[in-house]
A and B are shown apart, each in its own frame.
Chain A
Amino acid sequence: MAAYLSMGEAHRRIGDYLSRVVNAISSSDGAALASLISVSSAPGSTPLSDALAAFPDFPRLAGDRFPHLADLLIPLLRSIHSHSLQRFSDAYSSFEKAASAFLQEFRNWETPWAMEAMHTVALEIRLLAEKADRELATTGKNPDKLQAAGSFLMKVFGALAVKGPKRIGALYVTCQLFKIYFRLGTVNLCRSVIRSIETARNFDFEDFPVKDKVTYMYYTGRLEVFNENFLVADQKLTYALMHCNPQSESNLRRILKFLVPVKLSIGVLPKRTLLERYNLLEYADVVTSLKRGDLRLLRQALDRHEDQFLKSGVYLVLEKLELQVYQRLVKKIHIIQRQKEPAKAHQIKLDVVVKALKWLEIDMDVDEVECIMACLIYKNLIKGYFAHKSKVLVLSKQDPFPKLNGKPV
């Protein structure tokens, strides 16, 4: 921690920091301001934090020197101080006060020069809140800071979602909000933000910075996965993938993590090389099972990665692939039968299917298999009909196994 620091030196350092902040504001230097107010990225001990530790009366110093910005500066210093002491909850509380004061000022500034600083504030408040929540959770208190950060960011969003040049910055805040909501599991709160982004007249989506657009598309795509709107999800995630910085492998992976299951569910299978390259091998078995019609493999894969899939939210999507696997299985049986018995190629006995499933060590009685066949027909994965009396699946002569062709089941 702090080596010995004379009062005078501490005083000087704090004064220096304060005047740099005030100068950045008065000269409208957004970048400088942004770097000055990023609290959470600072290491444990900085010249400034040492000085704050050595000079506990810093609030009065700030108040005396710059009374007009005292609302902003005092909590900011407090936050930096608390953060250096690893008291994240306090740091968050102080930072939120500073951020509110900053937002107040920001509203009054006509030009968006401080956008960068505003974004830093949005980012910082989220990061600090996450730290604070971790700290609160370990001490057995209610971790509610991230939620508070969410409501603060909504205020920021409100300040940005106006006519004028500031609106460009709104999407960044939206993305921060998404991150918070996804973390909190309150994704339904995203809806209001999305609505204002997508319906408000003052936003033209193309005007936003690309990085924000990619993030936005990624999150909204994920939301569509939850809603099982696979076509829309496909569209959004594909957009994100196409516009994502190709250098950013981890981001690409994140997008693919959701795009692959979505593509699978509309009948598009990825190459194995893709899965390998982006380390998405948890999907490899799923893909193989789809190719082979191997129901057992699919179930095993789901079982093995269940926690992972549940957490990311694709479990239900992958589970739905079962019907496609059945389709594949029946198709295989059909192909074999065509070779063996061309005259009866289009009539598949239920017994055969049951036998095949037994072979896969899947225990299903005749009624259940019959039900599955009915479902396949019902969902247009098989063209034909089922004759109950003779227990025969009669396939259509034309295209008995229609491809999904980008349509979800």
Chain B
Amino acid sequence: MDTTNQNAVYYDPQRDVSVPGPTQSVTNSEPHVVQSANSYVPCLTSVQHDYNAAQHPNYYYNYRQAENDSSVQVVVQSPGAAYQPLASFQNSGSYVCPASNTYYNAGTHQMAPGYATSSYYYYHQNNALADGSSVNNHAQSYQSYTPDIAQSSNSLPTSSVHYQQHYNQWPYYYDQSAQTLGGLAVAGSTTSITKAAVVGSDYVHPSDQPPPPGTTSWKTDFDNSASPTAQAPGIQGYQNQYAPKATVAPVFQNQYVNNTAGISTFQNQYASSEYRHSSANYNQLPLSIQADQQNTCHLHGSSSNVSSANHVSENSRAPGQDSVTSNVHMVNKLHIQTNPQIAPGLPIGTPKVDKSNLEADSSSKPAYVCVSMPKNDLKAVAVQGGSEAVMQVTGSFPVSLRTYVERSLARCKDDAQRTAIRRMLKEIITKATADGTLHTKNWDIEPLFTLPEIATGTNMTGTGNDSSPFSFPSSRRSPSRRTKSRWEPVPEEKVANNVEFPKQSAKSNICSSLEPTKRTSNSWHLSKFVPSCQSPLSQFSQRSTKKQRTGGGASLTENGNVSSDSVKEQDLTKYYVSSITIANSPEEKKRREHRSMRFERRQGSSSKSGSSLQDEDATANIYTRRALSLLLNRSNGDGAGCGLAVEDLDWDTLTIKGTCQEIEKEYLRLTKAPNPAEVRPEHVLEKALHMVETSKKNYLYKCDQLKSIRQDLVVQRIQNELTVKVYETHARLAIQSGDVPEYNQCQSQLKRLYRGGIKGCNIEFSAYNLLCVMLHYISKRDLLSSMASLPKEAKKDATVKHALEVRSAVSSGNYVLFFKLYKAAPNLNSCLMDLYVERMRFEAIKCMSKAYRPTVPVRYAAHVLGFVGIDEVREANGADGLEECKKWLRAHGAVLSVDNNGELQIDTKVSSTSLHMPEPENAVSHGDTSLAVNDFLSRAS
């Protein structure tokens, strides 16, 4: 079918090549998965039945592998979706991993992953539904799951086993993400409602509503009409919702018709403006988000199921939810239409629909509709703001039109002009829609109309407008994405930020589309901070990028998001938030934009597939225009200083003498030339160092202060004893608080400084270096080279000697010696050894349980493993160390027994098979606990 072709375009292998991350993860599972990732379409169309058997296992496998890993799940799940016709609604909504969904939206509607996901969750909700209770918690649903599946998927009896497994896993997974998902699912249905509203209304209404950022006229409409519907019902049950539903179905058709301007079928529309659709979907998002807070009503035929999803907090957590919602929406649509087919229980029918949204609409009646009702949530409100932005007019316009509109609006200098232009645009579009030229017209070459006021047509960067053309509701984004960011500690603050945004975003034009933004944001933040999601994200993002490129205007918007970020450096109340703020600061944004632009341009030129020449041209235009605007922005915008990208700076000319007299200064990563007024001269830095040394505040504060001192030293090119002292101080503090990354930074700087002949405690630090290299086992070669580079006199130093002894104890596995040295460690050696103690103990207990028979007294183990005798004070209490040892042994699976004399012994024979490393309690999916937000918060407070 057509679908295949289109899909093929989207999944163009070339594009996929650029997505190494996801591919890898996928590879693990099985050929199926791989296929779906790379070339989704072929798989689906050809092997629908087969999927059940083969893919479910895969699915399971993937699932386990990365519980949070959305990409894997998605891929695997897609087959699943096909099987279960019913599931599709809620699944889509429920899909937790926002990122993948987001991408999906941005790129193509047909993305398999999105569907898959939907199905995945769907299981959940199905169960809930099956229970027959109007409101089910997801948690409940697990047990019943298996039967459900069997029912829903007629063709999958064999796969039931697999499902079961899945389910077992679910509870866990669910806890984490399910709620979010549920909310999303709801959103999908809501979306449809929204659509109905939208359909009725004109595309572009002049809207004066300030709060919704980036909201264009129809959004407003949308809000007024749709949101009431959605929200008001609350949890009333499905009947209410049902009603909207009924209307919705027809509405869909209508809307599409409108959009396509005379093209009645889905396929056609997609063909003409696939991209647009996705954006259209976005429009629905807001509603869905509102709605999704609460309960989902699942209406299937005559029976209705209600599953409740709680969302509130999740919204903020899951970045790109909005986009997800939109995806859901898409899915929903398809389902509705296809359901008639599916209803009979034909698995085949569903897959088709799911996989190829394009094809879908052969049957236009909705078999079942899922509706979700929103509860009121504080957060929901915040979300809503963002989502509204999403709903912008983008609707189903061709890309070129959007670009056109953007171009027009970009020329506006102030709000008045913009309003005027908007009105004109509206007329033009309405006209085009009326005479059917909306999609046929070449908007790229359409002349721009003159601005109402002559004003400054050339300068697109007005005072407040700078970012508006591209501004996309940053508020929306920030809650979701930011929360995941590495150092972002305080979600509440984010919300606050969001609220502030609307002002800006309100100015944003119709043109700014959400999708790209999301993509950018996701790829940027998520990939960085949520390793587990990374691969999927990147995959999707890549795809979406490509698609956008094809679409021309899309890419523009995407960049726009970044710029829209412009959060003036507000909310710096807490010093540790500074990094975030930087990310938001206009300069940074511009730089990023700049970078991504370069990247895009390269990519764009190289990608030849699928995009028409015109589009490419359009894209190119956009780029140049964008670059221009960037320049203008820079010169006009921030008064902070010149806007050169850091890499363009000539540091020689920028060596400055600071004049700042403040002793305390927050660290802020420079993205521009340093301002002498903000840089402290050397004598002030000395005071600052002293202040830090004597400060009673926590490590985070000190670390921040030291970093700012280091920065000031660097920008003034001060390299002397003070520099060494600062780095040494910082390194010591870092060791004491176990901050290895920071320590490594200092160590490498110190190495360089010592080599430059500056005096310091270089012997002490060579010992630390030795320990660090050894204990963290970077590589044998590093160890060798750092040993070989030890100067003769250093080897006589007690600290270095100790370090060398520790090394040999570790390499020979002599745990007794190790813990002896641990007790006698000079300087900060013990802090570094701390990092290795757990490993050494486990190694030792393994060794002991293999070598000793029949038993080893716990008291002895506590002695040689350093549980007793380290801390003199504790020693006085006596039993403490022993008790701790007992606890440790039990936690690691050792079997203890009491012998005839009442002495506690380790039963070595039994223990040797039962020893294990306990799951770290504070484990995080990305493997680095220090990156966990909670951990960060606890350290910060």
Chain A contact residues, CB within 8 Å of chain B = 185, 187-188, 226-228, 307, 310-311, 313, 315-316, 319-320, 322-323, 367-368, 370-379, 385-389, 394
On whether A307 and B864 interact (CB within 8 A), knowing A367-B816, A370-B816, A378-B851, the answer reads no
Chain A residues lying within 8 Å of B817, measured Cβ to Cβ, are 368, 371
The residue of chain B having its C-beta at the shortest distance from the C-beta of A387 within the complex is B853
Contact B784 A377 (CB under 8 A): no
Within 8 A of A (CB), among B775-815: 779-781, 783-785, 787-788, 808, 811-815
Q: Give chain A residues whose Cβ lies under 8 Å from the Cβ of B785.
A: 185
For chain B, the count of residues having a C-beta within 8 Å of the partner chain is 31
In the bound complex, residues from chain A placing their C-beta under 8 Å from that of B851 are 373-378, 385-386
Tell me if B760 is interfacial: C-beta within 8 Å of chain A. no
The interface centre, meaning the residue of A188, A311, A316, A322 with most chain B CB atoms within 10 A of its CB, is A316
Partner of A320, one of B784, B811, B815: B811
CB-based contact A368/B814 at 8 Å: yes
Contact B811 A319 (CB under 8 A): yes
Q: Taking the complex as formed, is B400 at the interface, i.e. its CB lies under 8 A from any CB of chain A?
A: no
What are 28 of the A-B contact pairs (CB < 8 Å)?
A185-B785, A188-B779, A228-B780, A313-B780, A313-B781, A315-B787, A316-B784, A319-B811, A319-B812, A367-B816, A368-B814, A368-B817, A370-B816, A371-B814, A371-B815, A372-B812, A374-B852, A375-B812, A375-B814, A376-B851, A377-B850, A377-B851, A378-B813, A378-B851, A385-B852, A386-B851, A387-B852, A387-B853
Task: Please give, as numbers and ranges, the residues of chain B lying within 8 Å of A379 by CB-CB distance.
Answer: 813
What's the least CB distance linking A367 to chain B, in Å?
5
Minimum C-beta distance from B776 to chain A (A)? 16
Chain A residue numbers with a CB within 8 Å of B864 are 367, 371
Q: Which of B836-894 contact A (CB under 8 A)?
A: 846-848, 850-857, 860, 863-864
Residue in A323, A373, A376, A377 whose Cβ sees the most chain B Cβ within 10 Å: A377
B899 (CB) vs chain A CBs: closest residue: A389
Q: Nearest Cβ in chain A — how far from B748, in angstroms? A: 15
- CB contact between A385 and one of B788, B808, B853 (< 8 Å): that residue: B853
Bound CA–CA A355/B780 (angstroms):
34
Chain A: interface secondary structure?
helix
> For window 615-632 of chain B, which residues contact chain A by CB distance below 8 Å?
none
Cβ contact within 8 Å between A378 and B815: no
Contact yes or no, A315 B784, CB < 8 A: yes
The closest CB in chain B to the CB of A317 belongs to: B780
CB pair A374 B848 closer than 8 Å: yes
Smallest CB-CB separation from B855: which chain A residue?
A388
Task: Contact check, B788 vs A310: say whether CB atoms are below 8 A apart.
Answer: yes
CB pair B811–A316 under 8 Å, yes or no, is yes
Q: Could you give, for residues 489-520 of chain B, a 1 whenever the CB lies within 8 Å of some chain A CB and a 0 otherwise?
A: 00000000000000000000000000000000
Q: With A316-B811, A323-B812, A374-B851 as given contacts, are A226 and B780 in contact (CB-CB < 8 Å)?
A: yes
Report B629 CB to chain A, min CB distance, Å.
37
Top 3 A-B pairs ranked by shortest CB distance? A374-B851, A377-B851, A385-B853
Q: In the assembly, what is the distance between CA of A375 and CA of B843, in Å?
A: 10
Query: Cα distance A307–B784 when bound, in Å?
Result: 10
User: What B residues does A374 contact at CB under 8 A?
Assistant: 847-848, 850-852
Docked Cα-Cα span, A386 to B850, in Å, equals 9
Contact A226 B816 (CB under 8 A): no
Bound-state CA distance A367–B812 (Å) is 15
Q: How far is the CB of A179 from chain B (nearest CB, A)?
A: 16
Which DSSP category, helix, strand, loop or mixed, fits chain B's interface? helix
Given A319-B811, A371-B814, A375-B813, A388–B852 Cβ distance below 8 Å?
yes
Counted as pairs of residues, one from A and one from B, with CB atoms less than 8 Å apart, the total is: 83
Contact assessment for A226 and B814 in the assembled complex, using a CB-CB cutoff below 8 Å: no
Cβ–Cβ contact A388 & B856, under 8 A:
yes
In the assembly, what is the distance between CA of A307 and CA of B783, in Å?
Answer: 14
Q: How far is the CA of A367 from the CA of B860 in the complex (A)?
A: 10
Report the separation of the CA atoms of residues A313 and B848 in the bound assembly, to the nearest whole angstrom. Answer: 31
Question: With A310-B788, A368-B816, A371-B864 as given contacts, are A316 and B780 in contact (CB-CB < 8 Å)?
Answer: yes
Cross-chain contact B852 with A310 (CB below 8 angstroms): no
Quick check: B780 and A388 within 8 Å, CB to CB? no
With A and B bound together, what is the CA distance between A374 and B811 in angstroms? 15
A227 to B788, CA, bound (A): 17
- In the complex, which residue of chain B has the Cβ closest to the Cβ of A382? B851
Q: How far is the CA of A368 from the CA of B851 in the complex (A)?
A: 14
The answer for the CA separation of A379 and B847 in the assembled complex, in Å, is: 8
Complex contacts, A373 vs chain B, CB 8 Å = 851
Residues of A within 8 A of B816 (CB): 367-368, 370-371
Complex interface: chain B residues within 8 A of A227 (CB): 780
Query: Counting chain A CB atoms within 10 Å of each CB, which of B779, B851, B853 scores highest?
Result: B851
Question: Which chain A positions have C-beta within 8 A of B808?
Answer: 319
Q: What's the minimum C-beta distance from B288 to chain A, rounded to whole angstroms?
A: 47
Interfacial residues of chain B within 804-837, with CB under 8 A of chain A in the complex: 808, 811-817, 820
The complex places the Cα of A372 from the Cα of B844 at a distance, in Å, of 11
When C-beta atoms are compared, the residue in chain B nearest to A320 turns out to be B811
Residues of B within 8 A of A310 (CB): 784, 787-788
A311/B811 in contact, CB under 8 A: no
By beta carbon, the residue of chain B nearest A377 is B851
Q: Which residue of A lies closest to B815 (CB)?
A: A371
- In contact, B853 and A375 (Cβ under 8 angstroms): no
B863 contacts across to A, CB distance below 8 A: 367
Determine the chain B residues whose CB is within 8 A of the CB of A386 once the complex forms: 851-853
- Separation of A315 and B808 alpha carbons in the complex (Å): 11
CB distance from B690 to the nearest CB of A (A): 34
**Whole-angstrom distance between the alpha carbons of A117 and B200 in the complex?**
77
A254 vs B784: C-alpha distance when bound (angstroms):
19
Query: Roughly how many angstroms separate A385 CA and B853 CA in the complex, as a whole number?
Result: 6
Query: Is the beta-carbon distance between A378 and B850 smaller than 8 angstroms?
Result: yes
Residues B813 and A187 in contact, CB atoms below 8 Å apart = no
Nearest opposing residue in chain A for B787, CB measure: A310
CA of A188 to CA of B785, assembled, Å: 14
**How far, in Å, is A109 (CB) from chain B's closest CB?**
28
A322–B781 touching, CB < 8 Å: no
The complex places the Cα of A386 from the Cα of B860 at a distance, in Å, of: 14
Shortest CB–CB separation between residue B13 and chain A, in angstroms? Answer: 19
Q: Nearest-CB distance from A226 to chain B (Å)? A: 5
Q: Which of A228, A311, A375, A386 has the most CB of B within 10 A?
A: A375
When distances are taken between beta carbons in the complex, the residues of chain A under 8 Å from B784 are: 226, 310, 313, 315-316
A197 and B318 CA atoms in complex are apart in Å by 44
Q: A319-B808, A319-B811, A379-B813 are in contact. List 11 more A-B contacts (CB 8 A).
A: A187-B781, A226-B780, A367-B816, A370-B816, A374-B847, A374-B848, A374-B852, A378-B813, A387-B854, A388-B852, A388-B855
How many Å from the CB of B846 to the closest CB on chain A?
A: 7
B residues 871-926 in Cβ contact with A at 8 Å: none
Which residues of B lie under 8 Å from residue A185 when comparing CB positions?
Answer: 781, 785
A192 to chain B, nearest CB (A): 15
A313 to B816 alpha-carbon distance, docked (Å): 27
A316 to B: closest C-beta gap in Å: 6
**Residues of B with C-beta under 8 A to A370:** 816
Inter-chain contact A372/B814, CB cutoff 8 Å: yes
Residue of B nearest to A307 (CB): B788
| Nearest chain A residue, comparing its CB with the CB of B848 | A374
User: Can you name the residue of chain A whose Cβ is closest to the Cβ of B811?
Assistant: A319
A343–B846 CA distance with the chains assembled, in angstroms: 31
In Å, the complex CA distance between A108 and B418 comes to: 58
Q: Which residues of B contact A319 (CB under 8 A)?
A: 808, 811-812
- Chain B nearest Cβ from A33, distance in angstroms: 37
The one of A226, A367, A375, A389 that contacts B847, using a Cβ cutoff of 8 Å: A375
